[in-house]
C-alpha cells in the first residue's frame, strides 16, 4: 500500500458525500420557496423601534442602574456594612462606612455609608449585591441608559445613586422620628418625617 493511499480514500469519501442525491422539490422550486420567505417578511409586523425617540418598556424585574433607598422620613437605609461590595464578583462596589451620632445621623443604627461608589465599567448587572444587602438599601431600577463619553462619569457616587427625596422626607442628617429607635425603622413603623426632625 503506497503512502498516498489513505489520502485518496479520504478524497473518495468526500466525493461520495458531495454526490449524495438531494430529495424533495426540484432546485428551482426550492429557490422559489426561499424567496417567498424573504418576500412574505415584508408584510410582517415591524419590530424595529426608533430608539431613542421610542423606548419600549422593559421587563418589571429588569436589572438596571442601582438605587440607594431611604426610609419614609428620608434617613438612608444603607448602614455601610460593605456586604454588597464583598458579594460583587466584579469588584465594582466600593463602600466606606462611618459612625452616626445623635447630632449627625444619616441612617438608623450605628453606621452609615459615607462613601458609596459603583463602577459601571465593571458591573455586569448580576444582582448579587442587592441580594446581599441586609436592609434592602440597595435595589436595581429599570434604567438602562448608562452610556457616557468618559470612563470617569461611569463611576457613580453616592449622590448619583441615592433615591430622590419624596414627599414627607427630609434631607439627612437629622434625628430619629420622635419616640422611635432603629428597630422602629426596620419594622416599618416610621411612615413619614416629623417637623421636629428638621435641622435648624
Stretch binding ligand SF4 (CB under 6 A), from 86-94, 157-165, 173-181, 183-191: 86-94
CB of 63 to ligand SF4, least distance (A): 7
- The cell for 53 is 425617540
**Alpha carbon 106 to chain centroid, angstroms:** 26
Select the residue interacting with ligand SF4 from 83, 161, 162, 170 (CB under 6 A): 83
User: Quick one: 120 exposed, middle or buried, by C-beta within 10 A (0-12, 13-18, 19+)?
Assistant: middle
Of residues 6-65, which lie at the interface with ligand SF4 (CB under 6 A)? Answer: none
- Distance (Å, rounded) from C-alpha 115 to C-alpha 159? 10
Q: If binding is defined by CB under 6 A, does position 172 make contact with ligand SF4?
A: no
Binding-site residue total for ligand SF4 (CB under 6 A)? 27
Q: With binding defined as CB under 6 A, does residue 123 bind ligand SF4?
A: yes
Select 160 or 194, whichever has its Cβ closest to ligand SF4: 160
75 binds ligand SF4 per the rule CB under 6 A: no
Q: Of residues 70, 75, 88, 197, which one binds ligand SF4 by CB under 6 A? A: 88
Least distance (Å) between residue 95 CB and ligand SF4: 5
**Cα 72 to chain center, whole Å?**
24
Q: Does residue 169 belong to the site contacting ligand SF4 (CB under 6 A)? A: no
Query: Of 33-41, 89-97, 157-165, 191-199, which part binds ligand SF4 (CB under 6 A)?
Result: 89-97
**Which range touches ligand SF4 (CB under 6 A), out of 18-26, 29-37, 82-90, 145-153?**
82-90
Is residue 118 close enough to count as binding ligand SF4 by CB under 6 A?
A: yes
* Stretch of 29-37, 41-49, 128-136, 144-152 lying at the interface with ligand SF4 (CB under 6 A): 128-136
Amino acid at each position: 500500500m503506497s503512502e498516498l493511499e489513505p489520502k485518496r480514500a479520504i478524497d473518495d469519501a468526500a466525493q461520495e458525500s458531495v454526490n449524495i442525491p438531494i430529495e424533495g422539490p426540484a432546485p428551482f422550486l426550492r429557490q422559489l420557496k426561499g424567496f417567498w420567505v424573504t418576500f412574505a417578511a415584508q408584510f410582517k409586523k415591524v419590530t424595529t423601534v426608533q430608539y431613542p425617540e421610542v423606548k419600549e418598556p422593559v421587563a418589571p424585574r429588569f436589572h438596571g442602574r442601582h438605587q440607594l433607598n431611604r426610609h419614609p422620613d428620608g434617613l438612608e437605609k444603607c448602614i455601610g456594612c460593605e456586604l454588597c461590595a464583598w458579594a460583587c464578583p466584579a469588584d465594582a462596589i466600593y463602600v466606606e462606612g462611618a459612625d452616626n451620632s445623635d447630632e449627625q445621623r444619616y441612617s438608623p443604627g450605628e453606621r452609615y455609608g459615607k462613601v458609596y461608589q459603583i463602577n459601571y465599567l465593571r458591573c455586569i448587572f448580576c444582582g448579587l449585591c442587592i441580594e446581599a444587602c441586609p436592609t434592602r438599601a440597595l435595589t436595581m431600577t429599570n434604567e438602562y441608559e448608562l452610556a457616557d463619553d468618559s470612563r470617569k462619569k461611569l463611576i457613580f457616587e453616592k449622590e448619583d445613586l441615592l433615591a430622590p427625596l419624596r414627599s414627607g422626607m427630609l434631607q439627612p442628617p437629622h434625628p430619629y422620628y420622635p419616640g422611635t429607635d432603629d428597630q422602629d425603622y426596620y419594622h416599618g413603623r416610621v411612615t413619614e418625617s416629623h417637623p421636629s426632625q428638621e435641622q435648624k
